[in-house]
Structure 1
């Protein structure tokens, strides 16, 4: 694994201070984390708002569709634009868009003038801003931390994301129960806080770039796809991980059916989610330890094996706490792999290609998620939860064998 070709002079000059004393990283980490929490709270309140305001599940579906639409249409162009534009300014614009969209929902609810098209537009704008922000922040991290701290920084970012998901969803429901406008007001405030933290961070979030001939976004997207495809290990890994994402969507749908058929109340899904979230945080926080002892191919294959075994266990149990513990194991392995793969990607990807490379991975993941939800619905209807989860476990075991048999994964070969 190669490190950055041209590390910044300040990183080479002296031994860095501990990450906990890195003011710029702490500002970025805190602001982005709080805005992630606000976004999760608002997203969890969308269906509640629509069912309360219109009483129509179809309206809730329209808002959910609008919120997810940016993942399909904006990811690839966002990656190209993140590499072209000033990342710090772009992140500030994203927070401003989030502040305006979420603030408008809170104000509309306060004054009683909300409409379904308004919620759809706000959800789309918020979803698009989140995509641009995440891509820019991922690329910015190595410009606020020393190279030696990159793995720890990305590990803490992953833990932050897991914690935001763990806390954001139930908080959104509680806030909505108190005041209908409150989840969106809190989301607007978190965007304002994140915007302020960015203003307090000096310097640039990207390398100095020579003035180059402007090309079309389409050409730059194609360049990003081609670059990822030339990386043998990354090319194989993205296909394998994409397949695992599809299988996890089958599992997620099956969990709801298992809880329902077991006679448990829907609130038990929250119990599973909380336990699973704890596992994800643990995986993110232990990633650095494992990365020092195991190469990335071993972590990838090991995660696939762990997922297959735990999925098989999920198929034969129905108790929510046991299900939560097994899901915590899958989340632990997933968070660990996310950190390890993220560190590898950031280190081997040229700075001018960071946004596009990340967007290609994100598009494959979101595309497989959509397909997995479709496959999972048909599979559960035809075979039931037990056989569907066993099929997902078998599929995961096949992916582990495929990874083990792929030379590019075993050797993590050079690009070419």
Structure 2
């Protein structure tokens, strides 16, 4: 009986410290606990996140300027929908060819330096393209090469930044940070569409020149950040490309809901490539100008911003499975509706709806992956997910030109809506999709 009481007595009357140093440590112990309980500073006071957010935003803005200008350059100056499809194919091809190596390098090397290299590569591509256009040459192979380089740089940049965010912000702020990132991307489109269209109307090479300047601004933001973009790596981790790719693949394969979601989103991404060029052709055949496309882009970007900002709200109330399935259904209706109008105001509303729904779903997907995936696998897991969901984008862009030339924009939009309706049925029937019923907000 006395043996049971002895530990309690020892805890209440612990021996005095042997010397002054131990006494100081004992006195400071409660202070350490008190410091750990201090509230986390708000996200808006996180200097490094603000710099990362702003720098990536400037880079995205530059990419949006050139992305908007590529099809206008081909349709209004190349006078060929097929050439526009070829350039769009080159811009999307990196999603198929560069994605997996990019994921490995993002997890292997310093992510900030990799992002800086991406900005410099895009800058070189824009300088080459601007030089050609100033000299009066619209050389399709060079435009395709510039689009490919810029698309490849964007993949590395996007994967590195997405993986870096969880190391720059507190875990409690992850959802809000990714929501702000998504809204920033749509804001870049909101500003990039009209600016690119307006500049293109003045001189065709101006959007590409400003795109290059944007990469310089992004570089300046990155070099000012102090926080490391990755956690220390294990010394025994594999350095073989195949082994590192296999790590990311095996992790994603073990996630039942993500496997199903990625497969279904792959089909939707192909359709959006078709719908993007459908808008350009619809406006052009209705007698519209690049300025009309810019105005539609403003409204569409605004829809994306609102959708992204609402992403956290939806996540707190609905499961990823519910958000994804309802998004598919809304897309099916909106895509099919494009077939029945060439009115710029109606088109702006329809594309804004598509953009807003997609932004909310992207926030959900980003938070879901960031929370369940280890930091050392973030780049590879994201690269596999994007490859599987967007790898066929290049084929969608290529087929868009032929479909529009053969069927016209109205029938192409109707077909896209019908395929999206089929994807909705597949989502409803999938047990793997139904497994994602847990609210993660």
Give me the TM-score of the superposition, normalised by structure 2. 0.80
The answer to whether structure 1 residue 189 and structure 2 residue 213 are counterparts is yes
Displacement after TM superposition at 1:94 (Å): 1.8
Greater CA drift, 377-386 or 285-294: 377-386
Displacement after TM superposition at 1:343 (Å): 0.7
The answer to whether structure 1 residue 167 and structure 2 residue 167 are counterparts is no
Going from structure 1 to structure 2, the CA distance change for 1:327 and 1:126 (only over 3 Å counts) comes to closer
Alignment map for 1:89-100 (pairs within 5 Å): 89-100=113-124
The separation in 1 between residues aligned to 2:36 and 2:188, in whole angstroms, is 34
Question: What does the per-residue CA deviation read over 1:275-331, in whole Å, with 9 as the maximum and x for residues that have no partner?
Answer: 222211110111111111111111111111222233343344442212221221121
The equivalent of 2:6 in structure 1 is: none
The separation in 2 between residues aligned to 1:251 and 1:52, in whole angstroms, is 19
Greater CA drift, 96-105 or 359-368: 96-105
Indicate which of 204, 208, 212 corresponds to 2:236: 212
The equivalent of 1:154 in structure 2 is: 178
The answer to whether structure 1 residue 265 and structure 2 residue 288 are counterparts is yes
Going from structure 1 to structure 2, the CA distance change for 1:333 and 1:57 (only over 3 Å counts) comes to closer
Going from structure 1 to structure 2, the CA distance change for 1:296 and 1:314 (only over 3 Å counts) comes to same
The separation in 2 between residues aligned to 1:280 and 1:287, in whole angstroms, is 10
Size of the alignment, in residue pairs? 402
Displacement after TM superposition at 1:206 (Å): 0.9
Going from structure 1 to structure 2, the CA distance change for 1:376 and 1:38 (only over 3 Å counts) comes to closer
C-alpha contact 2:183 2:306 (8 A) present in aligned 1? yes
The equivalent of 1:287 in structure 2 is: 311
C-alpha contact 2:95 2:393 (8 A) present in aligned 1? no
Structure 1 gap segments, 5+ residues each: 1-10
C-alpha contact 2:341 2:347 (8 A) present in aligned 1? yes
C-alpha contact 1:233 1:413 (8 A) present in aligned 2? no
Q: CA RMSD in A?
A: 3.3
The equivalent of 2:338 in structure 1 is: 314
Going from structure 1 to structure 2, the CA distance change for 1:12 and 1:46 (only over 3 Å counts) comes to farther
Question: What does the per-residue CA deviation read over 1:225-280, in whole Å, with 9 as the maximum and x for residues that have no partner?
Answer: 2321221000000011112223333434444555566x442444444333222211
The separation in 1 between residues aligned to 2:142 and 2:399, in whole angstroms, is 32
Greater CA drift, 374-383 or 302-311: 374-383
Question: What does the per-residue CA deviation read over 1:313-359, in whole Å, with 9 as the maximum and x for residues that have no partner?
Answer: 33444422122212211211111001111110111111111111111
Going from structure 1 to structure 2, the CA distance change for 1:234 and 1:309 (only over 3 Å counts) comes to same
Displacement after TM superposition at 1:74 (Å): 0.9
The separation in 2 between residues aligned to 1:173 and 1:326, in whole angstroms, is 20
Going from structure 1 to structure 2, the CA distance change for 1:13 and 1:354 (only over 3 Å counts) comes to farther
Going from structure 1 to structure 2, the CA distance change for 1:48 and 1:323 (only over 3 Å counts) comes to closer
Question: What does the per-residue CA deviation read over 1:95-118, in whole Å, with 9 as the maximum and x for residues that have no partner?
Answer: 2333344345556767x5989466
The equivalent of 1:299 in structure 2 is: 323
Structure 2 gap segments, 5+ residues each: 1-34
Greater CA drift, 185-194 or 203-212: 185-194
The answer to whether structure 1 residue 237 and structure 2 residue 261 are counterparts is yes
The separation in 2 between residues aligned to 1:186 and 1:376, in whole angstroms, is 28
The separation in 2 between residues aligned to 1:57 and 1:323, in whole angstroms, is 20
C-alpha contact 2:321 2:437 (8 A) present in aligned 1? no
Task: Report the 3-state secondary structure (helix = DSSP H, G, I; strand = E; otherwise coil) of the residue aligned with 1:81.
Answer: helix
The separation in 2 between residues aligned to 1:396 and 1:59, in whole angstroms, is 27
Task: Report the 3-state secondary structure (helix = DSSP H, G, I; strand = E; otherwise coil) of the residue aligned with 2:226.
Answer: coil
C-alpha contact 2:271 2:396 (8 A) present in aligned 1? yes
Indicate which of 76, 91, 114 corresponds to 2:100: 76
C-alpha contact 2:66 2:208 (8 A) present in aligned 1? yes
The separation in 1 between residues aligned to 2:272 and 2:142, in whole angstroms, is 32
The answer to whether structure 1 residue 228 and structure 2 residue 237 are counterparts is no
Give me the TM-score of the superposition, normalised by structure 1. 0.84
The separation in 2 between residues aligned to 1:59 and 1:241, in whole angstroms, is 27
C-alpha contact 1:232 1:413 (8 A) present in aligned 2? no
Greater CA drift, 248-257 or 147-156: 248-257
The answer to whether structure 1 residue 366 and structure 2 residue 390 are counterparts is yes
Greater CA drift, 275-284 or 94-103: 94-103
The separation in 2 between residues aligned to 1:105 and 1:377, in whole angstroms, is 23
Going from structure 1 to structure 2, the CA distance change for 1:62 and 1:300 (only over 3 Å counts) comes to closer
Greater CA drift, 332-341 or 384-393: 384-393
The equivalent of 1:350 in structure 2 is: 374
The separation in 1 between residues aligned to 2:277 and 2:295, in whole angstroms, is 16
Indicate which of 39, 49, 60 corresponds to 1:25: 49
The separation in 2 between residues aligned to 1:180 and 1:381, in whole angstroms, is 24
